[in-house]
A and B are shown apart, each in its own frame.
Chain A
Amino acid sequence: MTHLGYLMAGWGISLVVLGGYAFRLVRRGRSLSALVPEDRRRWLESSGTDSD
Protein backbone atom coordinates (compact mmCIF):
# COMPACT_ATOMS: atom_id res chain seq x y z
CA MET A 1 0.00 0.00 0.00
CA THR A 2 1.42 3.40 -0.99
CA HIS A 3 1.28 6.48 1.24
CA LEU A 4 0.70 4.30 4.29
CA GLY A 5 2.22 6.86 6.67
CA TYR A 6 -0.06 9.64 5.45
CA LEU A 7 -3.11 7.39 5.66
CA MET A 8 -2.28 6.23 9.17
CA ALA A 9 -1.65 9.83 10.28
CA GLY A 10 -4.88 11.15 8.76
CA TRP A 11 -7.18 8.38 9.95
CA GLY A 12 -5.33 8.01 13.25
CA ILE A 13 -5.49 11.68 14.20
CA SER A 14 -9.18 11.87 13.25
CA LEU A 15 -10.19 8.80 15.23
CA VAL A 16 -8.10 9.79 18.26
CA VAL A 17 -9.48 13.33 18.31
CA LEU A 18 -13.09 12.22 17.86
CA GLY A 19 -12.65 9.45 20.44
CA GLY A 20 -11.00 11.79 22.91
CA TYR A 21 -13.73 14.37 22.43
CA ALA A 22 -16.42 11.72 22.93
CA PHE A 23 -14.67 10.45 26.06
CA ARG A 24 -14.46 13.97 27.48
CA LEU A 25 -18.15 14.57 26.79
CA VAL A 26 -19.21 11.37 28.52
CA ARG A 27 -16.99 12.06 31.53
CA ARG A 28 -18.19 15.64 31.81
CA GLY A 29 -21.77 14.40 31.55
CA ARG A 30 -21.17 11.92 34.38
CA SER A 31 -19.70 14.51 36.72
CA LEU A 32 -22.48 16.99 35.96
CA SER A 33 -25.16 14.34 36.39
CA ALA A 34 -24.08 13.94 40.00
CA LEU A 35 -24.98 17.57 40.62
CA VAL A 36 -28.45 17.47 39.12
CA PRO A 37 -31.48 15.60 40.47
CA GLU A 38 -32.89 13.00 38.15
CA ASP A 39 -36.07 14.85 37.28
CA ARG A 40 -34.00 17.62 35.64
CA ARG A 41 -32.41 15.24 33.16
CA ARG A 42 -35.16 15.81 30.71
CA TRP A 43 -34.15 13.38 27.92
CA LEU A 44 -35.04 10.60 30.32
CA GLU A 45 -38.63 11.75 30.21
CA SER A 46 -39.62 13.70 27.17
CA SER A 47 -38.49 15.47 24.07
CA GLY A 48 -39.38 18.64 22.25
CA THR A 49 -38.59 22.32 22.40
CA ASP A 50 -40.40 23.27 25.59
CA SER A 51 -38.78 26.08 27.48
CA ASP A 52 -37.63 26.22 31.05
Chain B
Amino acid sequence: MAGRDERPGNTGSRGSRLLGCVALASLVVLGVLAFFLTGPDVRLHPTTGEEFGQFDAVRMLYLHVPMAVLMYASFMLCAAASVGVLVKRTPWWDVMAHSTAEVGTVLCGLVLVTGSIWGRPVWNTWWEWGDVRLMTTLVLFLLFAGYLALRRTTTDPRRQERKAAVVALVAVLDIPLVNRSVAWWENRTLHQRSTLEELKIQDLTLFTLMFGFLTFGLVVWWLTLQRFRVGWLERAAIDHAVGSAIAERRSETSADELDAAIGVTDEQAGEASP
Protein backbone atom coordinates (compact mmCIF):
# COMPACT_ATOMS: atom_id res chain seq x y z
CA MET B 1 0.00 0.00 0.00
CA ALA B 2 2.87 2.37 0.57
CA GLY B 3 6.62 2.50 0.54
CA ARG B 4 8.88 0.92 3.11
CA ASP B 5 8.51 2.24 6.61
CA GLU B 6 11.61 3.78 8.13
CA ARG B 7 10.50 2.85 11.63
CA PRO B 8 9.03 -0.66 11.65
CA GLY B 9 7.02 -1.67 14.69
CA ASN B 10 3.47 -0.56 14.01
CA THR B 11 0.70 -0.48 11.47
CA GLY B 12 1.78 2.79 9.94
CA SER B 13 3.44 3.25 6.60
CA ARG B 14 4.57 6.47 4.98
CA GLY B 15 1.40 6.55 2.89
CA SER B 16 -0.99 5.91 5.74
CA ARG B 17 0.72 8.49 7.96
CA LEU B 18 0.42 11.08 5.22
CA LEU B 19 -3.23 10.10 4.77
CA GLY B 20 -3.82 10.45 8.50
CA CYS B 21 -2.26 13.92 8.58
CA VAL B 22 -4.32 15.09 5.60
CA ALA B 23 -7.46 13.70 7.23
CA LEU B 24 -6.74 15.49 10.50
CA ALA B 25 -5.97 18.76 8.71
CA SER B 26 -9.18 18.61 6.71
CA LEU B 27 -11.13 17.88 9.92
CA VAL B 28 -9.79 21.15 11.30
CA VAL B 29 -10.69 22.97 8.09
CA LEU B 30 -14.15 21.40 8.17
CA GLY B 31 -14.60 22.61 11.75
CA VAL B 32 -13.69 26.16 10.75
CA LEU B 33 -15.99 26.04 7.73
CA ALA B 34 -18.87 24.52 9.67
CA PHE B 35 -18.71 26.74 12.73
CA PHE B 36 -17.28 30.06 11.59
CA LEU B 37 -17.51 30.63 7.85
CA THR B 38 -20.97 29.29 7.06
CA GLY B 39 -24.02 31.14 8.29
CA PRO B 40 -26.96 29.85 10.30
CA ASP B 41 -30.15 28.74 8.58
CA VAL B 42 -32.47 31.72 9.02
CA ARG B 43 -35.39 32.22 6.66
CA LEU B 44 -38.02 34.95 6.59
CA HIS B 45 -41.67 34.05 6.32
CA PRO B 46 -42.92 35.62 3.06
CA THR B 47 -46.10 37.16 4.54
CA THR B 48 -45.50 37.74 8.24
CA GLY B 49 -41.81 38.45 7.92
CA GLU B 50 -41.09 36.23 10.92
CA GLU B 51 -37.72 34.54 11.22
CA PHE B 52 -37.76 30.76 11.08
CA GLY B 53 -35.43 27.89 10.13
CA GLN B 54 -32.94 25.67 11.88
CA PHE B 55 -30.67 28.54 12.96
CA ASP B 56 -27.31 27.24 14.13
CA ALA B 57 -28.54 23.66 14.52
CA VAL B 58 -27.98 23.34 10.79
CA ARG B 59 -24.27 22.98 11.54
CA MET B 60 -25.00 19.34 12.41
CA LEU B 61 -25.59 18.82 8.69
CA TYR B 62 -21.87 18.84 7.91
CA LEU B 63 -21.28 16.06 10.43
CA HIS B 64 -24.35 13.86 10.23
CA VAL B 65 -24.89 13.61 6.47
CA PRO B 66 -21.29 12.77 5.47
CA MET B 67 -21.08 10.11 8.20
CA ALA B 68 -24.37 8.60 7.02
CA VAL B 69 -23.19 8.42 3.41
CA LEU B 70 -19.81 6.94 4.41
CA MET B 71 -21.62 4.44 6.66
CA TYR B 72 -23.65 3.16 3.70
CA ALA B 73 -20.49 3.08 1.58
CA SER B 74 -18.70 1.00 4.23
CA PHE B 75 -21.53 -1.52 4.42
CA MET B 76 -21.66 -1.74 0.62
CA LEU B 77 -17.93 -2.46 0.59
CA CYS B 78 -18.51 -5.06 3.29
CA ALA B 79 -21.15 -6.76 1.15
CA ALA B 80 -18.84 -6.72 -1.87
CA ALA B 81 -15.95 -8.11 0.18
CA SER B 82 -18.27 -10.81 1.57
CA VAL B 83 -19.07 -11.90 -1.98
CA GLY B 84 -15.30 -12.00 -2.49
CA VAL B 85 -14.94 -14.27 0.55
CA LEU B 86 -17.50 -16.72 -0.80
CA VAL B 87 -16.11 -16.70 -4.34
CA LYS B 88 -12.35 -16.41 -3.83
CA ARG B 89 -11.86 -17.67 -0.26
CA THR B 90 -8.73 -15.60 0.24
CA PRO B 91 -7.89 -13.86 3.55
CA TRP B 92 -7.64 -10.45 1.91
CA TRP B 93 -11.41 -10.32 1.27
CA ASP B 94 -12.26 -11.58 4.73
CA VAL B 95 -10.08 -9.02 6.51
CA MET B 96 -11.58 -6.38 4.23
CA ALA B 97 -15.14 -7.47 5.07
CA HIS B 98 -14.42 -7.48 8.80
CA SER B 99 -12.70 -4.07 8.66
CA THR B 100 -15.42 -2.31 6.67
CA ALA B 101 -18.13 -3.85 8.87
CA GLU B 102 -16.47 -2.61 12.04
CA VAL B 103 -15.81 0.90 10.74
CA GLY B 104 -19.34 1.00 9.31
CA THR B 105 -20.85 -0.01 12.65
CA VAL B 106 -18.93 2.72 14.49
CA LEU B 107 -20.21 5.25 11.93
CA CYS B 108 -23.72 3.82 12.16
CA GLY B 109 -23.78 4.32 15.91
CA LEU B 110 -22.54 7.89 15.50
CA VAL B 111 -25.13 8.60 12.80
CA LEU B 112 -27.88 7.46 15.18
CA VAL B 113 -26.50 9.55 18.05
CA THR B 114 -25.88 12.70 16.02
CA GLY B 115 -29.25 12.30 14.30
CA SER B 116 -30.95 12.09 17.66
CA ILE B 117 -29.08 15.14 18.95
CA TRP B 118 -29.94 17.06 15.78
CA GLY B 119 -33.56 15.90 15.90
CA ARG B 120 -34.17 17.25 19.39
CA PRO B 121 -33.95 20.99 18.53
CA VAL B 122 -35.18 20.71 14.94
CA TRP B 123 -37.99 18.13 15.16
CA ASN B 124 -38.57 18.57 18.88
CA THR B 125 -38.00 14.87 19.56
CA TRP B 126 -35.02 12.66 20.34
CA TRP B 127 -36.52 9.73 18.55
CA GLU B 128 -39.26 9.35 15.98
CA TRP B 129 -40.83 5.91 15.69
CA GLY B 130 -41.93 5.35 12.14
CA ASP B 131 -39.35 7.59 10.52
CA VAL B 132 -38.16 5.40 7.69
CA ARG B 133 -34.50 6.29 7.62
CA LEU B 134 -34.20 6.34 11.39
CA MET B 135 -35.69 2.87 11.84
CA THR B 136 -33.79 1.43 8.87
CA THR B 137 -30.53 2.74 10.30
CA LEU B 138 -31.33 1.32 13.73
CA VAL B 139 -32.02 -2.13 12.31
CA LEU B 140 -28.86 -1.87 10.20
CA PHE B 141 -26.91 -1.10 13.36
CA LEU B 142 -28.40 -4.10 15.16
CA LEU B 143 -27.73 -6.39 12.18
CA PHE B 144 -24.07 -5.46 12.06
CA ALA B 145 -23.77 -5.56 15.85
CA GLY B 146 -24.80 -9.21 15.44
CA TYR B 147 -22.19 -9.62 12.70
CA LEU B 148 -19.44 -8.28 14.97
CA ALA B 149 -20.70 -10.46 17.84
CA LEU B 150 -20.37 -13.50 15.59
CA ARG B 151 -16.84 -12.50 14.66
CA ARG B 152 -15.89 -12.08 18.31
CA THR B 153 -16.86 -15.67 19.18
CA THR B 154 -13.44 -17.00 18.22
CA THR B 155 -9.91 -15.73 18.18
CA ASP B 156 -9.11 -17.45 14.89
CA PRO B 157 -11.07 -15.57 12.21
CA ARG B 158 -10.57 -18.26 9.59
CA ARG B 159 -12.96 -20.61 11.35
CA GLN B 160 -15.99 -18.59 10.42
CA GLU B 161 -15.15 -16.29 7.57
CA ARG B 162 -17.78 -17.86 5.32
CA LYS B 163 -20.42 -17.81 8.05
CA ALA B 164 -19.70 -14.14 8.62
CA ALA B 165 -19.93 -13.49 4.87
CA VAL B 166 -23.41 -15.04 4.80
CA VAL B 167 -24.50 -12.92 7.78
CA ALA B 168 -23.24 -9.73 6.11
CA LEU B 169 -24.97 -10.52 2.83
CA VAL B 170 -28.26 -11.39 4.55
CA ALA B 171 -28.01 -8.13 6.50
CA VAL B 172 -27.54 -6.09 3.34
CA LEU B 173 -30.34 -7.98 1.54
CA ASP B 174 -32.62 -7.37 4.51
CA ILE B 175 -32.21 -3.60 4.36
CA PRO B 176 -34.59 -2.94 1.43
CA LEU B 177 -37.22 -5.08 3.19
CA VAL B 178 -36.78 -3.16 6.44
CA ASN B 179 -36.95 0.10 4.54
CA ARG B 180 -40.13 -0.83 2.64
CA SER B 181 -41.84 -2.25 5.70
CA VAL B 182 -41.20 0.84 7.79
CA ALA B 183 -42.26 3.07 4.88
CA TRP B 184 -45.61 1.27 4.64
CA TRP B 185 -45.90 0.96 8.40
CA GLU B 186 -46.14 4.65 9.14
CA ASN B 187 -45.48 6.31 5.80
CA ARG B 188 -44.06 9.43 7.29
CA THR B 189 -40.63 10.88 7.60
CA LEU B 190 -39.25 13.97 9.20
CA HIS B 191 -36.16 13.83 7.05
CA GLN B 192 -35.98 16.43 4.35
CA ARG B 193 -36.76 15.03 0.94
CA SER B 194 -33.57 16.62 -0.19
CA THR B 195 -31.63 18.67 2.28
CA LEU B 196 -30.25 20.73 -0.54
CA GLU B 197 -33.69 21.90 -1.69
CA GLU B 198 -35.23 22.35 1.73
CA LEU B 199 -32.53 24.53 3.16
CA LYS B 200 -31.89 27.75 1.34
CA ILE B 201 -28.43 26.55 0.61
CA GLN B 202 -25.86 29.10 -0.33
CA ASP B 203 -22.77 28.22 -2.25
CA LEU B 204 -20.59 28.05 0.84
CA THR B 205 -23.01 25.71 2.64
CA LEU B 206 -22.97 23.37 -0.32
CA PHE B 207 -19.19 23.57 -0.51
CA THR B 208 -18.89 22.81 3.21
CA LEU B 209 -21.14 19.78 2.84
CA MET B 210 -19.04 18.52 -0.07
CA PHE B 211 -15.91 19.20 1.95
CA GLY B 212 -17.51 17.15 4.76
CA PHE B 213 -17.88 14.21 2.37
CA LEU B 214 -14.23 14.55 1.42
CA THR B 215 -13.05 14.85 5.03
CA PHE B 216 -14.99 11.89 6.34
CA GLY B 217 -14.01 9.97 3.23
CA LEU B 218 -10.37 10.46 4.21
CA VAL B 219 -11.04 9.66 7.88
CA VAL B 220 -12.91 6.47 7.00
CA TRP B 221 -10.25 5.49 4.48
CA TRP B 222 -7.56 5.87 7.16
CA LEU B 223 -9.60 3.98 9.77
CA THR B 224 -10.35 1.14 7.34
CA LEU B 225 -6.68 0.94 6.35
CA GLN B 226 -5.59 0.73 9.99
CA ARG B 227 -8.29 -1.80 10.83
CA PHE B 228 -7.30 -3.88 7.82
CA ARG B 229 -3.69 -3.97 8.98
CA VAL B 230 -4.72 -4.93 12.51
CA GLY B 231 -6.84 -7.75 11.09
CA TRP B 232 -3.98 -8.86 8.88
CA LEU B 233 -1.59 -8.83 11.85
CA GLU B 234 -4.05 -10.86 13.95
CA ARG B 235 -3.90 -13.64 11.37
CA ALA B 236 -0.16 -13.37 10.93
CA ALA B 237 0.31 -13.48 14.72
CA ILE B 238 -1.71 -16.71 14.95
CA ASP B 239 0.27 -18.26 12.08
CA HIS B 240 3.56 -17.14 13.58
CA ALA B 241 2.64 -18.43 17.04
CA VAL B 242 1.70 -21.85 15.61
CA GLY B 243 4.85 -21.94 13.48
CA SER B 244 7.17 -21.06 16.34
CA ALA B 245 5.42 -23.51 18.68
CA ILE B 246 6.11 -26.30 16.19
CA ALA B 247 9.72 -25.20 15.80
CA GLU B 248 10.10 -25.12 19.57
CA ARG B 249 8.72 -28.64 19.94
CA ARG B 250 11.09 -29.80 17.18
CA SER B 251 14.13 -28.33 18.92
CA GLU B 252 13.16 -29.97 22.21
CA THR B 253 13.08 -33.39 20.58
CA SER B 254 16.27 -35.06 19.39
CA ALA B 255 16.43 -36.65 15.94
CA ASP B 256 16.44 -40.18 17.46
CA GLU B 257 13.37 -39.49 19.51
CA LEU B 258 11.65 -38.09 16.45
CA ASP B 259 12.50 -41.21 14.43
CA ALA B 260 11.27 -43.41 17.24
CA ALA B 261 8.08 -41.38 17.50
CA ILE B 262 7.22 -41.79 13.83
CA GLY B 263 8.27 -45.46 13.85
CA VAL B 264 11.53 -45.39 11.90
CA THR B 265 13.90 -48.09 13.17
CA ASP B 266 17.68 -47.63 13.48
CA GLU B 267 18.38 -49.89 10.48
CA GLN B 268 16.01 -47.98 8.22
CA ALA B 269 17.52 -44.73 9.38
CA GLY B 270 20.98 -46.11 8.68
CA GLU B 271 20.01 -47.27 5.19
CA ALA B 272 18.47 -43.98 4.37
CA SER B 273 21.52 -41.98 5.34
CA PRO B 274 24.24 -41.67 2.73
Question: Do chains A and B interact in one complex?
Answer: yes
Q: Are A6 and B117 in contact (CB under 8 A)?
A: yes
List A contacts of B114 (CB < 8 A): 10, 13-14
One of B5, B118, B240 near A44 (C-beta < 8 A) = B5
Tally of contacts, chain A with chain B, CB under 8 A: 129
List A contacts of B31 (CB < 8 A): 11
Q: Using a CB-CB cutoff of 8 Å, which residues 1-31 of chain A contact chain B?
A: 1-4, 6-7, 9-11, 13-15, 17-18, 21-22, 25-26, 28-30
Q: Are B240 and A37 in contact (CB under 8 A)?
A: yes
Label chain B's interface by main secondary structure: helix
List A contacts of B55 (CB < 8 A): 2-3
Instruction: Count chain A residues whose beta carbon lies closer than 8 angstroms to a beta carbon of B.
Output: 39
Q: Are B90 and A21 in contact (CB under 8 A)?
A: no
**Cα–Cα, bound, A35→B9 (Å):** 10
Q: Are A21 and B223 in contact (CB under 8 A)?
A: yes
One of B57, B223, B234, B236 near A41 (C-beta < 8 A) = B236
A29 with B40: in contact, given A6-B121, A9-B117 (CB under 8 Å)? Answer: no
Closest to A11 in B: B63
A33 with B11: in contact, given A13-B113, A18-B223 (CB under 8 Å)? Answer: yes
**Cα–Cα, bound, A1→B249 (Å):** 68
Q: Are A33 and B60 in contact (CB under 8 A)?
A: no
**Cα–Cα, bound, A18→B103 (Å):** 9
Q: Are A6 and B230 in contact (CB under 8 A)?
A: no
One of B1, B226, B229, B239 near A22 (C-beta < 8 A) = B226
Q: Are B230 and A10 in contact (CB under 8 A)?
A: no
Residues 44-59 of chain B, each 1 if its beta carbon lies under 8 Å from chain A, else 0 = 0000000000011101
List A contacts of B60 (CB < 8 A): 6-7, 10-11
Residues 214-239 of chain B, each 1 if its beta carbon lies under 8 Å from chain A, else 0 = 00000100110011011011111101
Closest to A40 in B: B236
**In the complex, what's the smallest C-beta–C-beta distance from B194 to chain A, in angstroms?**
21
Is B92 an interface residue, CB under 8 A from the partner?
Answer: yes
**In the complex, what's the smallest C-beta–C-beta distance from B102 to chain A, in angstroms?**
9
**Cα–Cα, bound, A26→B227 (Å):** 9
Given contacts A17-B109, A49-B92, A50-B92, 7 further A-B contacts (CB under 8 A): A13-B113, A25-B11, A25-B230, A29-B10, A43-B232, A50-B90, A52-B235
19 contacts between A and B (CB under 8 A): A3-B55, A3-B57, A6-B117, A7-B57, A7-B60, A10-B113, A14-B113, A14-B114, A15-B27, A17-B106, A17-B109, A26-B12, A26-B226, A35-B237, A35-B241, A36-B240, A40-B240, A49-B90, A52-B235
- Which residues of A are at the interface with B, using a C-beta cutoff of 8 A? 1-4, 6-7, 9-11, 13-15, 17-18, 21-22, 25-26, 28-30, 32-38, 40-45, 47, 49-52
